């Protein structure tokens, strides 16, 4: 769909702090055009055999594989991820496309003969119609690819509204799908802010809404969408806890914790933002972790593919993260590593915050209650596993949780009792693979069917159950006899 918008927004290279593009900001009029284009394309697309839809996705997967490096550069340019992180963003998205290629098997129904004498029953899955995806800035490739490939494989048409902060990668993703042979109108792209989102939530032809973002917005998406008769899956924010047991292997724990807390500059809903050091784990782990944090190379990912951490997304977000660090310090937290005031040679206007560790956190502190969404690790100190699990379970969120330990009993107790949808045992970022659901709990998810896996298939389809009975000539005829 091509259309004009009156207002535009600025797209930045966060590493350099410079404007690299302008993005049109659509409103209700453009939303209507996009949704109606998808609705017009739906009748023919739903009749396209599943194996033919899968064929297009197979070609799409091959094109994505051929363009990994170019897509990674696009992500690094408009988002600021390091090149390895950007490649991982693309690779995890490709895994979802690969899963969606199994549409002929994923969409198979069930049947049972003789549910009663001479009566058979079967179920089939059919598409919903026009589905909508509203995606965040932090994973410009992966999150959109969580949504539209599976929706299209199931026979739906789609409208994608990516974050206006990172529109360039989404454009390229859709260009490649068109190159793979997707018919016109089946997938439509629209850019915009809240006005655009609200118009999508109430459009009468939109049947389902998929969303990933912050918890307040996820709640708004869910409440508004369902109130207007939409099926909604809305993934929100998190405060993910990582428990450090005294018997944990130090080197592997430090490496896993640093990746969980500081990877992608902490801008991910599965970031390990809160550690609970149990017993003498703090004395064993924190000194080495602080050294690792202070030694990390922070700088421009745009011109250095070996950089260990890049910027955050905007100057405003950089300032907000710095303010939260200052609040933590003022409320009594001990700053073991301080990422405020990072200056990068050759990129003085970049949006940088370095790895930060705040020790001796209390539940009443501002940093304990708010999702920082930056490279900041909060550390509690507690005496035993029971108290640590109890503290973690008081969180309003429930995306992920992890434990580092060599005790099978401690790991089993943690897995059984922790109130989170994705659990890691000696894995700091337990994000589910494409064939499992991305199963956030509590205020980390609003809805019934999660993104990814068979729950994703169920979300993008509706079941039809047929009960059938066939008579021999004259049998059952009310006029017979």
- pLDDT confidence bin for 305, thresholds 50/70/90: confident
293 token code pair:
């944090």
**Tens digit of each residue's pLDDT (9 = 90 or more) over 126-151:** 999 999 999 999 999 999 999 999 99
**pLDDT tens digits for range 250-285:** 999 999 999 999 999 999 999 999 999 999 999 999
Distance CA 376, CA 144 (A): 26
Tell whether the model's pLDDT for residue 1 goes beyond 90: no
Residues 6+ apart with CB under 8 A from 393: 417, 418, 419
Residue 30 pLDDT: 95
**Residue range 329-339, pLDDT digits in tens:** 999 999 999 99
Sequence-separated (6 or more) residues with CB below 8 Å from residue 349: 16, 17, 18
Long-range contacts of 474-477 (CB under 8 A, 24+ apart): none
Place of tokens 């970031």: 271
Q: What are phi and psi of 115, to 5 degrees?
A: -65, -25
Tokens of 83: 């090149």
269 included as an active-site residue: yes
Give the model's pLDDT for residue 408.
98
Q: In 3-state terms, what secondary structure has residue 131?
A: strand
Q: What is the pLDDT of residues 380-412, one digit of tens each?
A: 999 999 999 999 999 999 999 999 999 999 999
Q: What pLDDT band is residue 302 in, cutting at 50, 70 and 90?
A: confident
Model pLDDT for residues 221-246, shown as the tens digit of each residue: 999 999 999 999 999 999 999 999 99
pLDDT of 480 strictly over 60: no
User: pLDDT tens across 155-185, in order?
Assistant: 999 999 999 999 999 999 999 999 999 999 9
Q: What is the pLDDT of residues 65-119, one digit of tens each?
A: 999 999 999 999 999 999 999 999 999 999 999 999 999 999 999 999 999 999 9
Cα 75–chain centre separation: 15
Inter-residue contact 290 to 396 (CB < 8 Å): no
Question: Higher-confidence residue: 473 or 433?
Answer: 433
Whether the pLDDT of residue 2 is over 50: the answer is no
Kindly provide the residue ranges of all beta strands, DSSP E only, lying in 76-205, ordered along the sequence: 110-116, 119-127, 130-134, 157-161, 187-189
Selected catalytic residue, list 131, 154, 264, 269? 269
Say how far apart CA 142 and CA 372 lie, in whole Å.
Answer: 22
d(CA 218, CA 396): 14
Q: Are 80 and 86 a contacting pair, CB within 8 Å?
A: no
Nearest-angstrom CA–CA distance, 407 and 6:
60
């Amino acid at each position: 769909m091509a259309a004009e918008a009156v207002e535009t927004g600025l797209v930045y290279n966060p590493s350099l702090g410079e404007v690299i593009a302008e993005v049109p900001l659509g409103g209700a009029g453009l939303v209507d055009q996009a949704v109606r284009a998808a609705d017009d394309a739906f009748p023919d697309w739903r009749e396209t055999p599943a194996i033919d839809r899968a064929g297009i996705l197979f070609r799409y997967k091959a094109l994505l594989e051929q363009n990994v490096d170019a897509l990674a550069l696009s992500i690094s340019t408009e988002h600021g991820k390091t090149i390895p992180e950007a490649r991982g963003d693309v690779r995890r998205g490709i895994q979802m496309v690969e899963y969606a290629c199994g549409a002929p098997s994923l969409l198979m129904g069930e049947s049972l003969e003789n549910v009663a004498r001479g009566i058979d029953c079967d179920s089939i899955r059919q598409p919903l119609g026009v589905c909508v995806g509203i995606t965040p800035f932090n994973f410009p490739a992966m999150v959109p690819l969580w949504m539209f490939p599976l929706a299209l494989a199931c026979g739906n048409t789609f409208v994608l509204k990516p974050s206006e902060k990172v529109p360039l990668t989404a454009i390229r993703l859709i260009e490649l799908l068109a190159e793979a042979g997707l018919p016109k109108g089946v997938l439509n792209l629209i850019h915009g802010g809240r006005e655009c989102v609200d118009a999508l939530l109430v459009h009468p032809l939109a049947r389902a809404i998929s969303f990933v973002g912050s918890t307040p917005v996820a709640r708004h998406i869910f409440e508004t969408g369902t109130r207007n008769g939409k099926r909604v899956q809305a993934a929100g924010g998190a405060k993910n806890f990582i428990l450090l047991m005294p018997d944990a292997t130090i080197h592997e724990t430090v490496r896993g914790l640093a990746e969980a807390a500081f990877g992608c500059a902490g801008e991910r809903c599965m970031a390990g933002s809160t550690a609970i050091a149990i017993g003498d784990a703090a004395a064993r782990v924190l000194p080495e972790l602080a050294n690792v944090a202070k030694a990390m190379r922070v700088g421009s990912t745009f011109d250095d593919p070996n950089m260990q951490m890049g910027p955050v997304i905007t100057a405003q977000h950089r300032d907000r993260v710095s303010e939260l660090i200052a609040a933590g310090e003022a409320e009594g937290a001990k700053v073991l590593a301080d990422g405020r005031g990072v200056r990068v040679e050759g990129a003085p206007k970049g949006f940088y915050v370095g790895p930060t560790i705040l020790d001796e956190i209390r539940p009443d502190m501002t940093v304990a209650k708010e999702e920082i969404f930056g490279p900041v690790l909060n550390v509690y100190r507690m005496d035993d596993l029971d108290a640590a699990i109890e503290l973690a379970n008081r969180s309003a969120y429930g995306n992920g949780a992890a434990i580092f330990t060599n005790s099978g009993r401690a790991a089993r107790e943690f897995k059984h009792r922790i109130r989170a949808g994705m659990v890691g045992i000696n894995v700091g970022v337990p994000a589910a693979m494409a064939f499992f659901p991305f199963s956030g709990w509590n205020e980390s998810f609003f809805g019934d069917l999660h993104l990814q896996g068979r729950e994703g298939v169920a979300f993008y389809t509706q079941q039809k159950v047929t009960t059938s009975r066939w008579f021999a000539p004259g049998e059952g005829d009310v006029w017979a006899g």
